[in-house]
Amino acid sequence: MSEEIRKDVFFTMIPTTEKERPYGMLDFFLVQISFGIAAWFFLVGGFTGLWLPAKYAVPTVIFGNVFPLFLISLLAIPFARYGVDQYIGHRAVFGHKFSDIWVIIYIVSSFGWIAYISLLMGQSAWKIASLFQLERYLGILATEEGYWIWAIIGLVINYFIALGGPTLIKWFLRVVVISLLTLLSYLMYSVIVIHGLDTIYAATPAEPFEDLRFGLASALEINVGLGFSWAFWYGQWTRLARSERAAYHGCQWGWGIIAAIAGVFSAFTALLTGSFDPSVWVYKAGGIIALIGLIMLILSNFDAVCLIYPMSVTLASRLPRIKWPLIVLIPTLGGIILDLLPGVYEKYYMYLAYISLLTGIYGAIVTGNYLITRGRWNLRWLYYKNSPYIYFKGFNLESVIATIVGTVFYFILLEPISWTSPSGLFPYMSAGLPSYFLTLATYIGLAKSKIFNKFYKIDTT
Amino acid sequence: MITSADKKVEMECAQIIGFGKRFDQRLENICEEVRKRISKFEEIQQKGNTTASWVERIRRIDYMIAIGINIIVLLWYLLSIIT
């Protein structure tokens, strides 16, 4: 095997064999923790603390993240088993053409994550400039108006890290882990030692909902959104894990209960400060603590590479003619475009509701397929376009119908833009979890009944 | 001269990568490697391993640990919200 092919394994559609995989159990665990404890957890915890008192916020953050992740945890296995990128592997579930539609949904919806992490970096960077009173030298960059410019600078740095592939990423993630754990330790110290848990539990949220039940469901929904959101990110990483067990446990605990601790302490801090924004929390501490905290937040911006790299691998699998540097530019530019739109940062909760809808449905269908097939796919059929995985004109009808049923049901429960419930059921059951279960039941029911098999070109049973 | 074997490889690559007649050396190498690895994987399967994996397989105990912890989390959440 040539050196070129050896490198291409990490950047193209070639399935990875055991010897090529860089991540053992510990490495994989650390990668997923650093991917997990990031801007998304600080922000989701922040909104939970804005809406709910501590006694409800804690179980909501833990359950809302850990349980949905468990419901989709089987996704880790088949991509580790076959060494394929998730968006090649899921052709077995959706069909070759419907899987392409899901790729577009995945790429476009993920621009948001890149934007949020870079915007948090931008919010931290201008505050540092402001701490040193650099307005005279840096102009707009030392004021709140300049945050988006810093965000774009951060994304450009991430672009160059992503160019280097998984080995370079592993080194940068070590810096990220140290920064994030330091920041988290400070939040824990501040909450437990300086303020005390009694103060936190007595604090009232800054922006509670009029109806507590609606507030509980809303906070659960955004946490469930983050919990399900990992459904789009399994295979790109687990194809690099040295065992199926490492793949399963690394994702399950790194993205779940360990990362959720960041969300809990973020909720506490939001209760104390009345803001969802982590850069405001550390800025308010003032002095050297504010400076160190903001630097840590900026360093954690390198986590964006955890998104840009896997998105680029997927794109490279689909568009093999395009060279890697140009491919990496696509997710980077997507994030930059969102950075330029005003009001995006404050609408994080709305974004999470859409993510809950999309990834909950996606995760339910792939999980349903795993439960039926036990993750037994045909590697050749995943690649060959004229294979049984073409189903009906490229669409697996069971997954199409399950997607439609899940989507309609979600919008009946919650309309995310107005944040209202057309059916009035949202306060009693939230939206993401029931939509997941309905989609799962629909998919399994249709697949087991085999009613669509007569439409398929080649019977797959 | 293009042989029928070359044609077959080209058609397979078009299926895998979708580049049809626009055939360059890099894509050809990628395609060839994918084809080789698929065949290798099928060899493993043919040895009787119907759930073949490139790597060590997951075990039942792994699922049991995850299920146990998540049942505890679910019960704790429900109790917290109800009381």
Residue A301: pLDDT over 80:
no
Interface test mutation site (partner A, options B54, B56, B64, B65, max chain A beta carbons within 10 A):
B54
* pLDDT 10s digits, A104-147: 999 999 999 999 999 988 999 999 998 888 888 888 888 888 89
Closest CA to A294 of A280, A308, A304: A280
B30 at A interface, C-beta within 8 A: yes
Q: Are A209 and A51 in contact (CB under 8 A)?
A: yes
pLDDT at A185 over 60: yes
Considering only CA atoms, which of A313, A303, A441, A451 is closest in space to residue A372? A441
Looking at chain A, which residue has its C-alpha nearest residue B78? Answer: A59
B55 chain-A contacts, CB cut-off 8 A: 18, 21, 80-81, 83, 241-244
Cα dihedral A220, A222, A224, A226 sign: negative
* Shortest Cα–Cα distance, A355 to chain B (Å): 22
User: Quick one: B70 exposed, middle or buried, by C-beta within 10 A (0-12, 13-18, 19+)?
Assistant: buried
Which amino acid belongs to residue B6?
Answer: D
Please tell me whether residue A209 adopts helix, strand or coil conformation: coil
DSSP letters of A361-422? HHHHHHHHHHHHHTT---HHHHH-TTSGGGTBTTB-HHHHHHHHHHHHHHHHH-BTTTTB-T
Residues of B whose CB is below 8 A from A216: 81
Q: Would you call B55 and A244 a contact, using CB atoms and an 8 Å cutoff?
A: yes
Which residue in the set B30, B54, B67 is minimally distant from A83, CB to CB?
Answer: B54
- Chain A contact set for B66 (CB, 8 A): 70, 73, 248, 252
**Of B58, B67, B69, B80, which to mutate for an interface test with A (greatest number of A Cβ within 10 Å)?**
B58
Given a cut of 90, whether residue A327 has pLDDT beyond it is yes
Instruction: Look up residue A270 and give its two tokens.
Output: 């939001």
Q: What is the pLDDT of residue A169?
A: 79
What residues of chain B score a pLDDT lower than 70? 1-12, 17-23, 48-50
Q: Which helix (H) or strand (E) holds A32?
A: helix A25-36
Q: Give the mean pLDDT of A212-232.
A: 96
- Angle between helix axes A257-273 and A39-51 (nearest 10 degrees) is 50
Contact A14 B34 (CB under 8 A): yes
CB contact under 8 A, B54 and A15: yes
Window from A222-231, A323-332, B38-47, B67-76 with minimum mean pLDDT: B38-47
